Amino acid sequence: MMKGDRCCVVIPLYNHAATVRKVAGAAIACGHCLIVVDDGSTDGGAETLAGLDLTLLRHEKNRGKGAALLTAAREAVRQGFDAMVSVDADGQLDPAEAGKLIAVADSSRPVMVIGARMMDAADNVPGSSRFGRRFSNFWVHLESGLTLPDTQSGMRLYPLAELLRLSIRSRGFAFEIEVISKMVWAGIGVKSVAVSVDYPPDRVSHCNKLGDNFRLSVCHTRLVARALCPWPHRRLVRGEGRGGDERVPVAVWLHPVGFFRRLCREHTSAGQLAAAAWLGVFLGALPILALHTVAIIYASHRLHLNKLAAVGASQLCMPPLVPVLCIEAGYFFRHGEFLLKFDWNTLVGQAHYRLWEWFLGSLLVGPLFGTVVAALFYAVLRSLRRGQVEVCG
């Protein structure tokens, strides 16, 4: 296990003057070396730390939480630490629980540990926080293959050498999302440990619901696009730490029944199966003639979704209904009216126009139809599983 003297605690600070001294004092009282990065605060929060035994760094202007964490990481390395535990300055998390993360960290190889907030045991947890966590967990699974309980927690243990070698583009709140997938892709293990959480009535949040959610969406889009790309990720650690699908033993490949059972059982939460259905319908609506199944299996594998569910849902897009709807939508985009004349010339002589219209229309019909199918998948699965729980109970 990693020793506490090889790990420090860091607090990124931005306009939390009312709570930061209490958080910092709790960290110091537990015997942790503390680094605070004042990320351009304007409320005098750094001044409230006077007299405490800590290292204080300042950004003249606000550069974002990710930038503050990277500044702290470089300072921690300079001071000789191997890892750091981040704790938010708003008092939501208890620095005394940093020891839980340190205890599960492996000193023999780098690992990132996330403190999973026990929201069910806390009072006054905003509904937006619960939804945001589920939403983030879903996308991180697509990107990395990991099913984690809390991908938005501000309490994390970072292995410093590996963190500073990662190519992280985000510098704001999206940094904490991007770093998980980048750690997994680099071969670094990611673990979780339960920690308590408190949402006081006077808690101050600097999350910009519009701007930060937009940046998070852009970040997830980039990561999903990279996850779909076939070229390998740059790995910092060999052997362990894989976050995606486990390598299938040759013996399983040679046993068709066992392999089929494996396919049926992988990625089978209601949300994952609904996402697989959406992907199957979306790709099934595209005019990638004779390549639909190959494309769906490839995309499902790269995004860690159930392949059988995706291929099965794609059958809803078999001709003629969905292709005709796509062509009609595409024709309307081009001409402002629907195609009503069907003869040899419009269907064969102008086939190249119909393919282009099919593609254009599929960009509308595919996502919309996929959303309907995914919603039905999700509702039916949740209902069936809720019924099973009630029967078992």
Q: Are residues 153 and 264 in the same domain?
A: no
Asked if 219 and 111 sit in the same domain, the reply is yes
| pLDDT for position 243 | 44
Q: Is residue 237 part of a domain?
A: no
Q: Indicate whether 34 pLDDT > 50.
A: yes
Neighbours of 26 (CB within 10 A): 20
340 is in which domain, residue-wise?
A: 250-392
The tens digit of pLDDT for each residue in 40-68 reads 999 999 999 999 999 999 999 999 999 99
Do 220 and 314 have their domain in common?
no
Same domain, 299 and 176: no
Whether the Cβ atoms of residue 4 and residue 85 lie closer than 8 Å to each other: no
Range in 96-110, 192-206, 306-320 the model is least confident about: 192-206
CATH assignment at residue 197: 3.90.550.10
Q: Are residues 224 and 258 in the same domain?
A: no
Do 367 and 292 fall within a single domain?
Answer: yes
Q: CA 239, CA 50: separation in Å to the nearest integer?
A: 46
Give me the mean pLDDT over the 22-44 stretch.
95
- Both 23 and 69 in one domain: the answer is yes
Q: Is residue 235 part of a domain?
A: no
Residue 84 lies in a domain: yes
Shared domain check, 85 and 202? yes
Kindly state whether residues 211 and 307 are assigned to the same domain: no
Residue 212 and residue 69 share a domain: yes
240 is a domain residue: no
User: Which comes out higher in pLDDT, residue 199 or 365?
Assistant: 365
Chain segment 235-277, per-residue pLDDT in tens: 888 755 444 444 555 454 455 655 556 666 778 889 999 999 9
pLDDT score recorded for residue 202: 60
Question: How high is the pLDDT of residue 325?
Answer: 97
In a domain, 307, yes or no: yes
Total domain count for the chain? 2
What's the chain's average pLDDT? 88
21 and 157, same domain (yes or no):
yes
Residues 300 and 210 in one domain: no
Tokens of 315: 């059958």
Average pLDDT for 95-105:
94
The residues facing 160 across adjacent strands are none
In order, the DSSP letters of 136-176 are HHHHHHHHH----S-SS-S-EEEEHHHHHHS-----STTHH
